[in-house]
Amino acid sequence: MAEAIPDIVTYLRSLDAVHDRCNQVFALAEVGQVDHWTFHQDKVADVVDYCVTLITRDYGDLSKVPPTSRRTHFEPPTKAQDARMGRIPALLLLCPKDPIAKTLTLIDLYVVSVLLDAGAGPDWVYTEVGPDGRETWKGGRSEGLAVASYQMFTAGVFSSNNANKLQVDAKALKGLRVETLAKHLQVSDSNPMAGLEGRCELLIKLGSALGDRPDICPSGRPGEIINYLEGRLPSADTLPLSLLWSTLFELLLPIWPSRTTLPDHPSFPLGDVWPCPSLERSLTGDRTTGDNLVAFHKLTQWLCYSLVEVIESEGGWKVDRGRGQTALPEYRNGGLLVDLGALTIKPETLPPDAYPRGRDQPPLLAPSHPAIVEWRALTIGVLNHCHPLICEKLGTQLSLAQVIEAATWKGGREIAKTKRQGGGPPIDIISDGTVF
């Protein structure tokens, strides 16, 4: 009989843990008790003003602001500003008309696309060409990875069924090779991508995870999670976010590197969870196992945001968000806060090897470094703090997902272009293709 999952493990894998632990680190920053960062409350107004300016610049009708999801990345502007149909609408025309079938197909695409969407580095670019061989779009980073993954999906790279290229299945994923991925992502010595091997390993592990859970995905397709959930809805057409989260986490946990475990429970990997020394030092009274750990679950959150969008827009269900998700703890949201001065790093706390390119360049750190753990936690904490202030200034209530999409993620990218050649982040992270 399988060992029961300890309560502390269940907690650290939850969205509640992300909220709670990041808020704890933010509370420490408010009183100057984190090791590597200074939080400047007087700069919060600048963040709010910057975000409001972006939102009002791009959306005359605030009711049209979309939530953050992978869908928006599939539709970057084409090189020729023509009236051709967008990628996702074109794909949906090829799907069965049944809403659940459409949702299943898009979930297949979104899962592989999100798992490919860790930082590609500043030098990689993807060039899309049309049937006539002409370039239709060119770009890098998240949009480049989205367009590339779309083209791979429609070409049947992730399907083992020649009769249905428009699917992702366990057999095809387990047979994926780095060389195949590199070819379709156009990776070369002159067009390098950070973390390519890590991405490929992640997709191969996804194939194994899907094959191991026929109770959730009988045919080995990730989109079959929608059928699994359909039979477990507590009320008609209303999906609790907590049910989607726990099902995703249960299905995907085997694919993540086993970074952190608890001494008392070493057989239970926690996912995107990291120790935070400044949090540990702040603890008083009786200690409990894992109370020094901060949870993020960034890629699972990114996937969850994306699947919520497609479940509502195509499946026609309502999602009961409960406490909801957090801001995504990654370098665009976090970079915005640094570039606007709300967070400043303490360079004297970093080791000399954090500056391999010189002190005039951004430091380079591993995801496990306490400065990165604090930065990610503070990204969530500060944006939680800013969200209601942004809505108050706009005079309307936007969800956090809408603010991320219309302001913080986009703003992080835009301000980076004005601050650094190539538009890279203010802190560089050594990417393995599975965190950022």
**Averaged over 392-420, what is the pLDDT?**
96
Average the pLDDT over each of 11-15, 47-51, 357-361 and give the range with the smallest value.
357-361
Q: Is residue 373 situated within a structural domain? A: yes
Q: Over 50: is that where the pLDDT of 162 sits?
A: yes
Q: Is residue 434 situated within a structural domain? A: no
Q: Is residue 141 situated within a structural domain? A: yes
Q: Is residue 186 situated within a structural domain? A: yes
H or E element, residue 127: strand 126-129
Q: Over 70: is that where the pLDDT of 78 sits?
A: no
Q: What was the pLDDT predicted at 130?
A: 86
Q: What was the pLDDT predicted at 81?
A: 45
Residue 122 structure tokens: 């500043």
Average the pLDDT over each of 2-11, 221-230, 427-436 and give the range with the smallest value.
427-436
Q: What average pLDDT does the chain have?
A: 93
Question: Beta strand 318-320 with 293-295: parallel, antiparallel or unpaired?
Answer: unpaired
Closest CA to 39 of 351, 369, 345: 345
Can you tell me the distance from the alpha carbon of 252 to that of 255, in angstroms, rounded to the nearest whole number? 6
Output b/e per residue, 166-194; b: 16+ Cβ within 10 A. bbbbbebbbebeeeebbeebebeeeeebb
Q: Is residue 435 situated within a structural domain? A: no
Q: Is residue 1 situated within a structural domain? A: no
Q: Is residue 344 situated within a structural domain? A: yes
Q: What was the pLDDT predicted at 2?
A: 63
More reliable by pLDDT, 431 or 103: 103
Domain of 147 in residue numbering reads as: 7-429
In the chain, how many domains are there? 1
Q: What was the pLDDT predicted at 288?
A: 87
Can you tell me the distance from the alpha carbon of 18 to that of 242, in angstroms, rounded to the nearest whole number? 13
Can you tell me the distance from the alpha carbon of 436 to that of 367, in angstroms, rounded to the nearest whole number? 9
Please give the share of the chain, as a percent, with pLDDT higher than 90.
82
Q: What's the burial of 399, exposed, middle or buried (CB within 10 Å: 0-12/13-18/19+)? A: middle
Of the pLDDT bands very low, low, confident and very high (cuts 50, 70, 90), residue 79 is: very low
**Averaged over 158-173, what is the pLDDT?**
96
Residue 351 structure tokens: 């080791």
DSSP 202-250: HHHHHHHHHHT-TTT-TTS-GGGHHHHHHTT-SBTTEEEHHHHHHHHHH
Q: Is residue 436 situated within a structural domain? A: no
pTM of the model: 0.92
Residue 427 CB coordination number (10 Å): 21
Q: What was the pLDDT predicted at 361?
A: 92
Q: Over 90: is that where the pLDDT of 235 sits?
A: no
Q: What was the pLDDT predicted at 84?
A: 61
